[in-house]
Structure 1
Amino acid sequence: MTHPQRDLIAALRSDLTAAGFTVSALSGLWGPDADTALHRNQRVPALRALARLRSTLGRSTATATLAELFVLGLPVAPALLAEALPSLGIQGAAELRLISSVDEHDESVRPVADLRPYSFIDQLGVGSWWIMSDLGELSLGHAVGEDHVLGVGGASLTLSGLMIQRTVDSALDLGTGCGIQAMHAARHARRVVATDISARALDIASLNAELNGFENIEFRLGSLFEPVADETFDQIVSNPPFVITPRAEGVPSYEYRDGGMVGDALVQHVVHHAGEHLAPGGIAQFLGNWEYTHAEAGLDRVQGWLDETTDPVVDVWVIERDVQHIDEYAETWIRDGGTTPASPQFDRLYGAWLNDFEHRGVEQVGFGYVMLRRPDAASPATPSPLRRLEQLHGPLGGSGSGLGAHLSDCLAGHDWQTRRSDAELAASTLVVASDVTVERHYWPGDDDPTAMILRQGGGFGRQTPIDTGLAALVGACDGELTIGAICGALAQLLSVDETALLDELLPRVRALLDDAILLPTAEV
């Protein structure tokens, strides 16, 4: 979709490229410690580094000027900005709503938008973009507005890392915000529809798409699935406004995070209706919160939502990554809006949050990932839909950036094993995934281990306890011997009944395939 200010955006792209306005360039300007401080919303170390640079060079570079204006949110001299944006110019920057309007008498130019580089590695390789969003509280000096358009935050990075990047015809980004997920999806989807309830968000997302050269994204205004009422997609991704916010007078309702519903009802709505918009073989992935009460655990609550859906054939995988006490949850999201702790406003909002939770009997809030999948009519059907709800708290394996590929491997392993009988599985050959190691623990002086653990280096970093039989089977899975042949040899070695051993180990082999710890030989 072509942006109406295409020529101005092309000029901006040219200037940013010429200035070398990249993530690595910014890190080079102020160093890793200042980078870390910026993530804590502290800009003094970065400012000190820029001052030292100007003192050394006797001038400011284009990259430093752009960084000071758009990343640190501080005014710069018009002459410096004109030098940094020679193609776009000051007037062009004002027309794109990057800076406030200026005249010849102004001694400084102030930003009205955040514009910063963004880099990533996904399943398709290395990428880098520029992302425009609204100024945060660091630049504003006060809490953000309720129509604030957020840039790339922690939840955005989580979802983009989860995204399964298979080639598809169509994708939907539900609640696109600044457009970051739509652009990630556009790397592997022929066309993308991005929706949002905020017209401002769509304007900014459209500019970001144009700035970064995407022409296959269509933007639509509306709430949740309303803009795509009768359509289906091969992929749906969403970082929905899932934050649980009191519906009380005087409590800000931020469009980027608050869906306007009570409690976790918005996530429930997405769970209920996402499957209706999946084409055969389609996958939906989204983030969410769910409440814990004294009477119901969070994943039990999600299971209840699934039981209420009218589409029982859709596969479901829910992973809870964290649980917060209501006190911590309230503090996190009040600070997120830019309200200063210990201020009267903070205390008032804190009280409203806790009153809401107490009124509804909420004690904790869970956070995690939800994946839905509609079976592909062209593929052999599995005996029953996948229903997997699990808690995986704690650190991820590796960097967490390859979760999308890992989830895809897990789904492939699940499909492969569920379509095979025990006899067919026993006749198959498997291999151990390359990131899996065995950890053995011994009592001092003992020859035999007291505990053995399969440790997954990537993915979710699973740690699976195993016994002697399963350890021996996994160790022999080199793609040469069948599972049945391995079990036959083990039965002789351990002096046990071969059939009984096979019956014991096959379900555990299926579980290891579900977790991509074991892989079918054909998948290697």
Structure 2
Amino acid sequence: MNASSARALGTLAPDPEAAWRLRHALLSSGYEADRLAQPLRLRSLAGSARSAVDWREIAGSDEPLTGLVELFIFGRAIDVARAEASLSPLSIHDAVRAGFVQSDGDSIASPWEVLVHDGLLLLGDRPDRLTQGNVDFVGTVSNSARTLAYQTSRAPVEATLDLGTGSGVQALLAARHSRRVLGVDLNARAATIATVNGFVNELLNTEYRVGDWFEAVDPARRFDLVVANLPFVAAPQVVYRFAHGGLDPNDLSRQIVRGAAMRLADGGMAQILTSWTRRIEDDRIAAVRDFVAGTGCDAIVLAHGAEEAAVYAAEQCGWLAPRDPARYGELLRRWLRYYRDAGVEAIETGLISLRRSSGGASWLHGIQSPGMPTAQLGDHVARLFAGNDEIESLGDAEELLTGHFSLIAGHRVTQASRRHPDGYHQEATTIELTPDVGYQASVSGYAAAVVLSMSAAETLGQTVERVADETGMEEPTLRAEAIGAVKDLLQLGMATRLH
């Protein structure tokens, strides 16, 4: 391969038959997440020297999987004979014509990486193509894409809209539980890549359109699910379309939240992973309250974390200008000036989940969720809405005493004591869920005695009375703390009413 093509973005020609043959080659070779873990780790360690890694020598074999790993993980050129054996039943001629690989006559290379996420085979631009000038770079599956995917509701639906579809990962995951999926992206390359990924994964109930957010969507069309992994960098300029939205992040988030709400069917849900800015002294989700106000939707906000503007700018400019101190300094000064002029002191990141309300006053509940999920938690989001519906329906919190409740299955309880001069004192009890939802609940010793005893056999009020009798705790204090704890646990999706 010549030097001029080393950083160029690839071009795909959608071909269902070629995509099917590539799928067959990958699956028959064992191109699976478990078998890619080691080469991906080595690629990360090798950095810019990744194309020099001879995986055939490390693996100690020359099976088809070895050639595919060198092509689609390490970005290494291999000889024609090895490429033919690795890509079969896809011929070299058809692979070149479809754009999956490139040939200089003596060797075969690919401008694409192929990763596996939740059983999907996904093509995207190789990470080394993320260079200045490649504004239309389309990544395969980013950490933010995984975060959104893990938290997305997977209830069966009629129609899904994926805004900013990129490689199509959200659209294709939704295609498994949606009758129809529409993916939209301003980047025409993204729409093409997503289309090809649909062919590769044999998910043909998806369509992709090119347009600026809702411009490509029929305004009369309604969706049961809207997902959006918004450009995540609060920046004064667009360097890469997937990362930089070209608007103040609050303006973009407000536009998408309100636009998504307008296009939800009754009971439909929108899940938007985004960023917003604030001053240090502001309520962390005040901006989101503004986004959601008047939409007719209930909302759950999982605030994943905040960074001060100067630290955030230093990190973001670092990956935009690696090994280029002069450009880094120029970018950093521009970004800090932009934040200062806009009054931005902190940048928040989080998931905004909306649900079209069926009537009555809508509500918003925020949760500080410093951890990121690492497993599918769509059911947990449904529990969050159910728990907050429960609380919103109460005329008085004491009505909880007449209900039957239990902790969610899979919870983990941690109780600790700290030594004081007069002996050990029990500290607050923490409750976590497995798989990890990114946050935990803390309840007092009084409340823990009740919530750990809840069951279908008695109401919360009866449990309070029994625990008071058994322990000698003061019943009024026990009752008040138990009510507060159960309310919090319902709103955190960690407890449920038993019917």
Same fold (TM over 0.5): yes
Q: 1:330 to 1:78 in 2, by over 3 A?
A: farther
1:379-390 residue pairs with structure 2 within 5 A? 384-390=361-367
Counterpart in the other structure of 1:179: 168
Secondary structure of the corresponding residue to residue 269 of structure 1: helix
Q: 1:50 to 1:7 in 2, by over 3 A?
A: same
1:479-498 residue pairs with structure 2 within 5 A? 479-492=456-469
Contact 2:14/2:192 (8 A) holds in 1: no
User: Are 1:324 and 2:307 counterparts?
Assistant: yes
Post-superposition shift, 1:506? 2.5
Q: 1:141 to 1:321 in 2, by over 3 A?
A: closer
CA distance in 2 between counterparts of 1:142 and 1:384 reads 48
Q: How many residues align?
A: 483
CA distance in 2 between counterparts of 1:389 and 1:40 reads 38
Counterpart in the other structure of 2:242: 256
Contact 1:245/1:253 (8 A) holds in 2: no
Secondary structure of the corresponding residue to residue 192 of structure 1: strand
User: Are 1:452 and 2:428 counterparts?
Assistant: yes
Deviations along 1:22-48, one digit per CA (max 9) or x if unpaired, are 222334xxx3xx533434672758955
Secondary structure of the corresponding residue to residue 284 of structure 1: strand
Where does structure 1 lack aligned partners over 5 or more consecutive residues? 121-127
User: Are 1:400 and 2:389 counterparts?
Assistant: no
Counterpart in the other structure of 2:417: 441
Contact 1:455/1:462 (8 A) holds in 2: no
CA distance in 2 between counterparts of 1:145 and 1:52 reads 33
Contact 1:156/1:181 (8 A) holds in 2: yes
Post-superposition shift, 1:257? 1.8
Aligned with 1:346 (options 328, 335, 339): 328
CA distance in 2 between counterparts of 1:224 and 1:52 reads 47
Counterpart in the other structure of 2:109: 110
Contact 1:430/1:483 (8 A) holds in 2: yes
Secondary structure of the corresponding residue to residue 345 of structure 1: helix
Counterpart in the other structure of 2:4: none
CA distance in 2 between counterparts of 1:271 and 1:40 reads 39
User: Are 1:132 and 2:131 counterparts?
Assistant: no
Q: 1:244 to 1:40 in 2, by over 3 A?
A: farther
Contact 1:77/1:108 (8 A) holds in 2: yes
Contact 1:439/1:455 (8 A) holds in 2: no
Bigger mean CA deviation after superposition, 479-488 or 205-214? 479-488
Code of the residue aligned with 1:165 in structure 2: it is R
Bigger mean CA deviation after superposition, 508-517 or 213-222? 508-517
Counterpart in the other structure of 1:13: 23
Q: 1:496 to 1:18 in 2, by over 3 A?
A: closer
Secondary structure of the corresponding residue to residue 348 of structure 2: strand
Post-superposition shift, 1:227? 1.9
Aligned with 1:36 (options 22, 30, 41): 41
1:90-169 residue pairs with structure 2 within 5 A? 90-102=92-104, 106-114=105-113, 116-120=114-118, 128-137=119-128, 140=129, 142-143=131-132, 145-169=134-158
Code of the residue aligned with 2:32 in structure 1: it is T
Post-superposition shift, 1:77? 1.2
Counterpart in the other structure of 2:350: 368
Q: 1:162 to 1:64 in 2, by over 3 A?
A: same
Q: 1:462 to 1:344 in 2, by over 3 A?
A: closer
CA distance in 2 between counterparts of 1:332 and 1:516 reads 34
Counterpart in the other structure of 2:401: 426
Deviations along 1:226-250, one digit per CA (max 9) or x if unpaired, are 2222221111111022422214xxx
Q: 1:467 to 1:133 in 2, by over 3 A?
A: closer
Code of the residue aligned with 1:470 in structure 2: it is A
Post-superposition shift, 1:340? 1.4
Contact 1:455/1:464 (8 A) holds in 2: yes
Contact 1:290/1:298 (8 A) holds in 2: no
Q: Percent identity?
A: 24
Post-superposition shift, 1:349? 2.0
Code of the residue aligned with 2:78 in structure 1: it is V
Where does structure 2 lack aligned partners over 5 or more consecutive residues? 1-12
Deviations along 1:154-191, one digit per CA (max 9) or x if unpaired, are 11111101111111111111110000000111111111
Counterpart in the other structure of 1:123: none
Post-superposition shift, 1:20? 2.1
CA distance in 2 between counterparts of 1:41 and 1:330 reads 26
Counterpart in the other structure of 1:287: 273
Bigger mean CA deviation after superposition, 93-102 or 149-158? 93-102
User: Are 1:410 and 2:384 counterparts?
Assistant: yes
Secondary structure of the corresponding residue to residue 273 of structure 1: helix
Counterpart in the other structure of 2:197: 208
Contact 1:130/1:212 (8 A) holds in 2: yes
CA distance in 1 between counterparts of 2:229 and 2:243 reads 9
Post-superposition shift, 1:514? 1.6
**RMSD between aligned alpha carbons?**
2.8
Deviations along 1:201-257, one digit per CA (max 9) or x if unpaired, are 10100000111010111212211122222221111111022422214xxxx531212
CA distance in 2 between counterparts of 1:272 and 1:9 reads 37
TM-score w.r.t. the length of structure 2 is: 0.88
Counterpart in the other structure of 2:183: 194
Deviations along 1:3-33, one digit per CA (max 9) or x if unpaired, are 9511111221222222222222334xxx3xx
Code of the residue aligned with 2:355 in structure 1: it is R
